[in-house]
Structure 1
């Protein structure tokens, strides 16, 4: 396999996918609308086709022009888009759909491919754009992959949990890095033992390549850090990467309510906990980056950026109200 087409390819996961396959001697073409800066504009081994993946004609034209061996679909958000792509690219060596750990419909610990049921998806959810339908839409996209494989298409799915690392425009982790970097005392919701499994973005890109090369058609593969940490553990990793100390102050529902906050107002807090099994992917030879190294790279990228993530949690004034309440207890 030598030629890769990335549907997407200029922002977060797609950007790292391009780098991963380039590092393994693939010629890469990205296909997107060109609405974002292209980090590969000057790269001789990366071509670009402009078009709208939701337009069937544009997608078919991209398939003819790129003539890829491998397709990585980073921006399929509706089941119809996956069904169309698996028809357009039915002759490639590998079509990899980037799904999500949100596709699972039951809170197993851990969630396992082929065991934990997927979300149901209604007709209304299949065309909706809301966050509440994200998991059902990804689950239905997975089912489109499975159906395509039954027709003989070399289609597979990769399910990352929440992704972090360089160029993360979502700014979810940036909220916590900013807090630890600027203050010596911060509020962590709950008792700090909350778990929301995460996946380092370079490992996600590596998993996608590994699945494209060695995965089985009709299979789905979870992607997550092989070592999982709690919310407190994440804060500790950030502090270590910043070479600083921070005092963590835990706040429960009652203390947060005094400042009109809830546990869910803090990004990366999740109840119930969320964890993905990754043994299936590891059996393909995939390994994850040591989590302290991954966090160091994420922190370095944050410091080089203008991201602060402050929209993902309470402002400092509100946080200090909570700290004041806790200090009186």
Structure 2
């Protein structure tokens, strides 16, 4: 495969994917509305076609102009968009849909492709934009991919769990980095052993390319760090990367409630573990970046960026109340 079309391509996962594709010798075209700064504007190796991915006519025009060997769909959020894309790009050697670990509808440890049940998707959820329908919509997109593959389309799905790393506009990890870099004591809900599997963004990009090159049509591939961290381990990895020391303070449900908080107020906290089996992807030759390296790059990027994770902040005053309560016990 020589030519890749990336639907999206300028913000986070797509941005890293474009870089990975260029480094691996692809001619790359990004297709988006141009609403965000294009980091590849001055890179002659990356062309830009402007258009709205919800406009089927614009997608057809891009397909005719580019004739891509591989298509990477980073911004398909509704099943009808996947239906259109699998039809329009049916002649490509690979169509790779970026799904999500949120597509899984059953709580199992670990969640496995083809085994763990996917979320159902109601008629109302098909067109809904809420966070609550995100997993069901991604699951339905997966089912569209499988159906297309049954009709001869070389369509595959990649399911990343929570993605982190440089240029992460969600700022989820930035909240914890900001806490570690600014406070000696960091409140962690529960006993610190909860697991919400995460995936380093550069590894997600590599996985997408590898699935296009080596994956099997009609197959989904989970992506997540080969070493999954507990929340407490995450805080300590950040501290190591930042070159600082921090005390992790565990806060139970009662202490949090006394300060008007709950575990759900803390990003990356999840009561039941969320862990994806990544052996199918590893069988294609994929591996993940060591967590220490990934965290060091994330901390360096945080320091260079204007991000602090404030929208995920449960309130330092409330946390100080929790610390005061715990200090009296």
1:2-21 map, 5 Å: 2-21=2-21
**2: CA distance, partners of 1:172 / 1:110:** 23
1:54-93 map, 5 Å: 54-93=54-93
The Cα of 1:328 is off from its aligned counterpart by 1.2
**2: CA distance, partners of 1:209 / 1:311:** 32
1:277-309 per-residue CA deviation (whole Å, 9 max, x = no partner) reads 000000000010001100100110001111000
**1: CA distance, partners of 2:259 / 2:306:** 28
1:141-156 map, 5 Å: 141-156=141-156
1:173 aligns with 2:173: yes
Counterpart for residue 232 of structure 2: 232
SS in 2 for 1:141: helix
Q: Give the alignment's TM-score, normalised by structure 2.
A: 0.99
The Cα of 1:5 is off from its aligned counterpart by 0.3
1:50-99 per-residue CA deviation (whole Å, 9 max, x = no partner) reads 11000111111111111111000000000000010000000000000000
Moved over 4 A (4+): none
1:1-329 map, 5 Å: 1-329=1-329
Q: Give the alignment's TM-score, normalised by structure 1.
A: 0.99
SS in 2 for 1:62: helix
**1: CA distance, partners of 2:282 / 2:239:** 29
**2: CA distance, partners of 1:93 / 1:9:** 20
**2: CA distance, partners of 1:251 / 1:310:** 21
1:237-263 per-residue CA deviation (whole Å, 9 max, x = no partner) reads 000001100011111111011111111
**1: CA distance, partners of 2:205 / 2:224:** 11
SS in 1 for 2:92: coil
Q: CA RMSD in A?
A: 0.6
1:133-177 per-residue CA deviation (whole Å, 9 max, x = no partner) reads 000000000000000001100000000000000000000000000
The Cα of 1:322 is off from its aligned counterpart by 1.0
Structure 1 unaligned spans of 5+: none
**2: CA distance, partners of 1:319 / 1:79:** 41
**1: CA distance, partners of 2:96 / 2:60:** 17
**2: CA distance, partners of 1:87 / 1:179:** 47
**2: CA distance, partners of 1:285 / 1:185:** 40
The Cα of 1:315 is off from its aligned counterpart by 2.0
1:221-243 per-residue CA deviation (whole Å, 9 max, x = no partner) reads 00000011100000010000011
**1: CA distance, partners of 2:66 / 2:178:** 41
SS in 2 for 1:21: helix
The Cα of 1:313 is off from its aligned counterpart by 2.5
